[in-house]
Structure formats: structure tokens, C-alpha cells
């Protein structure tokens, strides 16, 4: 007589703190595994407990250094497969290489598709992720993808804030209008967008605005930031046109030295982000919201073969 598979959660080295928060919310123990490197830099993984026939989830955002964290995830999946896990779900709160999702220049790869192929080939049975840079990336996988959104987490944090009384939601570019529109509908606020021109990989120039700006508190909605070039450029243009404050809702915040230096200029009054990747606010105006509960609830629903659709809904309003 067969029993139901046990739920097991493991983590690589990309974001163990998030994995521990998820386990605490779920009332589960974090699985025992060794994930380290040989002296030559090769990744070594050993699963330290029996997982035969279990339903296993591996938490690993593929953030900087992306290549190292992707290899860790692939090798962990292979180890779990060879240890006879019944089902393996890769929990990838931030999916790296997502911006390389099309051929926008001659003779360039579609690396997001390559990473999707690698995860499938390694042995993943499904993917759980959050706010993909482009939603069509779900179609790059030949396995099920549960794509969650951070918007309910953002909404629950800001929907009672005083600055919403005279606010406008803005997309930092035309491509992000759909996500900004969804947030403006949730908050019942007007919508605008910024036209921009990319000068190089680290520099973006905002050129035009469409929407109510003068005397308004602006809320920019974006999926990710690394150099803060888009946010700061848009913020400068918005304040030149009379914006009182400029805040940003950013799902994935991976600021490097350039981005931190730009934020010190004070153009952006606050970045509200999630802990999909490790974030160190330091003395910068960054508010970090936890997605541990959202991801934990999704895992419990996947494990029990329930729908995750309810997690897309805003609660408590």
C-alpha cells in the first residue's frame, strides 16, 4: 500500500534566508544538503537525507553570480533525480537571463530558452517563479510553470498609504504598461508612462511623459533594477515636470555599485521591493517586503495538487 509523497524543501547558496523564511511559514524543516565547491571551482552537491518517492522543491533564484547559481540549481536537480525523488520543482523567485528572450540583434542567442531547456534536461518536473521579465518565457518550458505575481504583496503594503490620495501609477517604458496598468486598476489610480531611449547597457535617457504628473506622487512599476538607470532617469524627468515624490515598486532589486550611487542622488524617494533576491538596503531608501508566505502557500498548493490561482488575488481589502 503506497503512501502520499512527503514534502521536502532544499536550497542552494543563492538565498538560503528566503528558504528558511518559507519553511518557517509552512511549518516545515529545511532539507539537509551539502552544496559547496571543489578547489577548482566545480560545484559539489550531496543530498544528506532519504528523498526516495518524495515531492521535492529546490529554492534558488538565479541572481548574481547568475552562472554559479544556475549551475548549482542544475546539479542539485540532477542529484535529487538520481536519489529517486518522485517530483522535483525548481522554485526560482528570480529567473536570470530573462532579458535575453528574443533575437533583437543579428547572431545573438535566446539564452532564456537555453536555460529553460537546461532545467528540463536536468530533471525538473515543474517551475515556480515570480514576475518574469516577459510572460511569454513560460512558453519556453515544456514542463508546467506556475508564474506568481508580487502585486498582491505590494498592494497590501501601500494601499493605505497617505500618498495615494494624489498619486499616479507610471510605467518606466512602453513595454511595462501592462503591469503598471494592472497596479493602477488595483489602486484605482490614473496611469501614465515614460518614453525612454537606451544609450548603452548602463545608461537610459527618459525623453517624454504621458499622464498626470504635476503635484502628484508618482509610483513607478517595474519588474527589476540593477543599475537604477531607468528609474533615476524617469524620476528626474518626472520631478522636472512637477512630481512631488517618486517611488518605485520593483519586484527584483539587484543593485550594484552603479545603482547604489545613483540612488544616493535622492531622485527616487523610495524603492519598495521584495526579497526574491538578497537585498541589503544599507542607508538607501529601500523597503524590502517578504514573498516567503506567497511562495510557501504556492508550494503547499502544488504539493496537494490544488490550484494556485487564488494567490493572484488581493486579500484583506
Q: Name the β-bridge partners of 71.
A: none
pLDDT, tens digit, for every residue of 237-247?
999 999 999 99
Is 196 an annotated catalytic residue?
Answer: yes
**Cβ contact 94:63 at 8 Å:** yes
Complete DSSP assignment for 121-175: HHT--EEEEES-SSGGGGGG-SS-EEEE-SHHHHHHHHTT-GGGGGEEEEESSGG
The answer to whether residue 152 scores a pLDDT higher than 60 is yes
pLDDT confidence of residue 310: 80
Catalytic residue among 103, 162, 196, 315: 196
pLDDT, mean over the chain: 93
Q: Give the integer Cα–Cα distance in Å for 92 and 96.
A: 9
Residues 253, 43, 129, 303: what is their CA dihedral angle, to the nearest 10 degrees? Answer: -140
The band of 317, judged by pLDDT with boundaries at 50, 70 and 90, is: very low
What are the structural domains, with CATH classification, of the chain? 7-149+292-312 (3.40.50.2020), 151-289 (3.40.50.2020)
Q: Give the integer Cα–Cα distance in Å for 137 and 140.
A: 5
Q: Give the integer Cα–Cα distance in Å for 182 and 284.
A: 28
pLDDT, tens digit, for every residue of 61-104?
999 999 999 999 999 999 999 999 999 999 999 999 999 999 98
Amino acid at each position: 500500500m503506497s503512501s502520499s509523497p512527503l514534502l521536502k524543501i532544499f536550497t542552494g547558496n543563492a538565498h538560503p534566508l528566503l528558504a528558511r523564511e518559507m519553511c518557517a511559514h509552512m511549518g516545515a524543516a529545511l532539507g539537509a544538503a551539502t552544496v559547496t565547491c571543489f578547489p577548482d571551482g566545480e560545484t559539489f552537491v550531496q543530498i544528506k537525507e532519504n528523498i526516495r518517492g518524495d515531492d521535492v522543491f529546490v529554492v534558488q533564484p538565479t541572481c548574481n553570480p547568475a552562472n554559479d547559481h544556475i549551475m548549482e540549481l542544475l546539479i542539485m536537480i540532477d542529484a535529487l533525480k538520481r536519489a529517486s525523488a518522485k517530483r522535483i520543482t525548481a522554485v526560482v523567485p528570480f529567473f536570470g537571463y530573462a532579458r535575453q528572450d528574443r533575437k533583437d540583434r543579428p547572431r545573438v542567442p535566446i539564452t532564456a530558452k537555453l536555460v529553460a531547456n537546461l532545467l528540463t534536461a536536468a530533471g525538473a518536473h515543474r517551475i515556480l517563479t515570480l514576475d518574469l521579465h516577459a510572460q511569454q518565457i513560460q512558453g519556453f518550458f515544456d514542463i508546467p510553470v506556475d508564474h506568481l505575481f508580487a502585486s498582491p504583496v505590494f498592494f497590501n503594503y501601500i494601499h493605505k498609504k497617505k500618498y495615494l490620495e494624489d498619486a499616479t501609477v507610471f510605467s518606466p517604458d512602453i513595454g511595462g504598461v501592462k503591469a503598471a496598468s494592472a497596479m493602477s486598476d488595483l489602486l484605482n489610480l490614473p496611469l501614465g508612462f515614460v518614453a525612454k531611449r537606451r544609450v548603452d547597457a548602463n545608461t537610459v535617457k527618459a525623453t517624454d511623459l504621458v499622464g498626470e504628473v504635476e503635484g502628484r506622487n508618482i509610483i513607478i512599476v517595474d519588474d527589476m533594477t540593477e543599475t537604477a538607470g531607468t528609474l533615476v532617469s524617469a524620476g528626474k524627468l518626472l520631478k522636472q515636470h512637477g512630481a512631488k515624490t517618486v517611488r518605485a515598486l520593483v519586484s527584483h532589486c539587484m543593485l550594484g555599485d552603479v545603482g547604489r550611487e545613483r540612488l544616493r542622488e535622492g531622485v527616487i524617494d523610495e524603492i519598495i521591493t521584495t526579497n526574491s533576491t538578497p537585498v541589503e538596503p544599507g542607508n538607501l531608501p529601500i523597503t524590502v517586503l517578504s514573498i516567503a508566505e506567497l511562495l510557501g502557500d504556492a508550494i503547499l498548493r502544488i504539493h496537494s495538487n490544488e490550484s494556485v490561482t487564488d494567490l493572484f488575488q488581493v486579500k484583506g481589502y
